Chain A
Amino acid sequence: MTSARRKSYGVKGAPYAFLLPATTLFALFFALPIGYAIWLSLHKVQVKGLGLGSGARSEVWAGLENYTDALTDSELLDGALRVLGYGAIVVPVMLGLALLFALMLDTERVRLAPFTRLAIFLPYAIPGVVAALLWGFLYLPDVSPFYFVLDKLGLPQPDLLDGGGLYAALSNIAVWGGTGFNMIVIYTSLQAIPAEVHEAAKLDGATPLQIALRIKIPMVAPSLVLTFFFSIIATLQVFSEPTTLKPLTNSISTTWSPLMKVYQDAFQNGDIYSAAATAVIIAFVTLLLSFGFLRAANSRTKQQGEAR
Chain B
Amino acid sequence: MSSLAVRKAAPAAGTTPGTAQGPPLRRRIAFVPTVTLLLGAIYCLLPVAWVLIAATKSGRELFSTFTFLPGTGFAENVKDLNAYRDGVYWKWMGNSALYAGLGALLSTAVSALSGYALAIYRFRGRETVFNILLAGVLMPPVILAIPQYLLLAKADLTDSYASVLLPLVLSPYGVYLARIYATAAVPSDVVEAGRMDGASEWRIFTRVALPMMVPGLVTVFLFQFVAVWNNFLLPYIMLSDDEKFPITLGLFTLLEQGANTPALYTLVITGALLAVIPLIALFLVIQRFWSLDLLSGAVKS
Which residues of chain A have a CB within 8 Å of any CB of chain B? 1, 4-5, 7-8, 10-12, 14-16, 18-19, 21-23, 25-26, 28-30, 32-34, 36-37, 40, 97, 100-101, 103-105, 107-113, 115-131, 133-138, 142-145, 148, 176, 179-180, 184-185, 188-189, 191-192, 201-208, 210, 214-215, 222-223, 226, 233, 236-237, 239-240, 243-244, 247-248, 259, 262-263, 266-267, 272, 275-276, 279-280, 282-283, 286-287, 290
Q: Which of B97-120 contact A (CB under 8 A)?
A: 109-111, 113-114, 116-118, 120
CB B229 to nearest CB in A, in angstroms, measures: 7
Residues of A within 8 A of B113 (CB): 18-19, 21-22
- A208 to B17: give the CA distance in the assembly, Å: 13
Inter-chain contact A15/B8, CB cutoff 8 Å: no
B30 touches A109 (CB 8 A): yes
Given A134-B48, A247-B258, 4 further pairs, Cβ under 8 A: A110-B34, A180-B44, A205-B9, A263-B142
> In the assembled complex, which residues on chain A have CB atoms less than 8 Å from the CB atom of B198?
7-8
Interface centre among B202, B252, B300 (most CB of A within 10 A): B252
Of A30, A127, A143, which is within 8 A of B139 by CB?
A30
Check B287–A121 contact: CB distance below 8 A.
Answer: yes
Select which of A16, A204, A233, A282 is within 8 A of B4 by beta carbon. Answer: A204
Partner-binding segment picked from B79-87, B167-175, B212-220: B167-175
Contact assessment for A204 and B151 in the assembled complex, using a CB-CB cutoff below 8 Å:
no
Q: Which of B51, B259, B299 contacts A185 (CB under 8 A)?
A: B299
B200 contact from A8, A25, A202, A263, Cβ within 8 A: A8
Contact A272 B30 (CB under 8 A): no
B111 to chain A, nearest CB (A): 8
Residues of B within 8 A of A115 (CB): 41
The residue that B299 contacts in the complex, of A131, A135, A189, with Cβ under 8 A, is A189
* Residue among A122, A208, A282 with most chain B CB within 10 A: A122
| A108 B110 Cβ-Cβ under 8 A | no
Contacts of B205 in A (CB 8 A): 18
Are A34 and B280 within 8 A (Cβ)?
Answer: no
The verdict on B16 contacting chain A, using a C-beta distance below 8 Å, is yes
Known: A121-B287, A176-B44. A23 touches B129 (CB 8 A): yes
Are the CB atoms of B138 and A127 closer together than 8 Å? no
Give the CA-CA distance A5 to B280 in the complex, in Å: 48
Contact B140 A101, beta carbon cutoff 8 Å: no
Q: Are B140 and A116 in contact (CB under 8 A)?
A: no
- Number of B positions contacting A (CB below 8 A): 115
List which B246-281 residues lie within 8 A (CB) of chain A. Answer: 247-249, 251-252, 255-256, 258-259, 265, 268-269, 272, 275-276, 279-280
Are A108 and B30 neighbours in the complex by a CB distance under 8 Å?
Answer: yes
Closest B-chain residue to A234, C-beta based? B140
Kindly list chain A residues whose C-beta atoms are within 8 Å of the C-beta of B38: 112, 116
Flag if B7 contacts A272 (CB, 8 Å): no
Query: Provided the pairs A19-B129, A134-B272 are in contact, do residues A283 and B143 lie with their beta carbons within 8 angstroms?
Result: yes
From A10, A30, A107, A188, B136 is in contact (CB under 8 Å) with: A30
Q: Residue A109 contacts which of B28, B129, B232, B258 (CB distance < 8 angstroms)? A: B28
Which residue of A is nearest B29, CB measured? Answer: A111
- Given the contacts A133-B272, A145-B50, A223-B296, A205 and B44 also touching, CB distance less than 8 Å: no
Cα A107 to Cα B67 in complex, Å, equals: 36
**Distance (whole angstroms) from the CB of B145 to the closest CB of chain A:** 8
- Which B24-72 residues have C-beta < 8 A from chain A? 26-30, 32-34, 36-38, 40-41, 43-48, 50-51, 54, 62-63, 66-68
CB within 8 Å for A11 and B195 given contacts A30-B144, A145-B66, A286-B138: yes
A8 lies within 8 A of B129 (CB): no
B140 near A282 (CB under 8 angstroms)? Answer: yes
Complex Cα gap A145–B284 (Å): 27
* A33 contacts B148, C-beta separation under 8 Å: yes
A260 to chain B, nearest CB (A): 9
A22 close to B138 (CB less than 8 A): no
B47, B170, B284: the one within 8 Å of A22 (CB): B170
The answer to whether the Cβ of B1 comes within 8 Å of any Cβ in the partner chain is: yes
B150 at the interface (CB under 8 A from A): yes
Shortest beta-carbon distance from A34 to chain B in Å = 7
Contact, CB under 8 Å: A129 / B201: no
A233: which of B120, B138, B175, B268 is its contact (CB, 8 Å)? B138
Known: A8-B195, A11-B201, A133-B272. A33 touches B48 (CB 8 A): no
B282 touching A125 by the CB < 8 A rule? yes
Expressed in whole angstroms, the Cα–Cα distance for A107 and B36 within the complex equals 12
Known: A110-B34, A125-B226. A29 touches B300 (CB 8 A): no
Pick from A19, A32, A120, A148: contact of B40, CB under 8 Å = A120
Nearest A residue to B53 via CB reads A145
**Chain A residues positioned under 8 Å from B7 (CB to CB):** 204-206
| Bound form: Cα–Cα A1–B166 in Å | 39
Determine if B20 is an interface residue (Cβ-Cβ < 8 Å). no
Are A18 and B116 in contact, with the CB atoms below 8 A? yes
**CB of A90, distance to nearest CB on chain B (Å):** 15
Interchain nearest-CB distance for A180 vs B (Å): 7
Find chain A residues with CB under 8 A from B280 CB.
Answer: 122, 125-126
CB <8 Å contact, B110 and A25: yes
Whether A188 pairs with B114 at a CB distance below 8 angstroms is no
Q: Determine which of B5, B33, B143, B268 lies in contact with A110 in the assembled complex, contact meaning CB atoms within 8 Å.
A: B33
Query: Which of A30, A34, A112, A282 neighbours the largest number of chain B CB atoms within 10 Å of its CB?
Result: A30
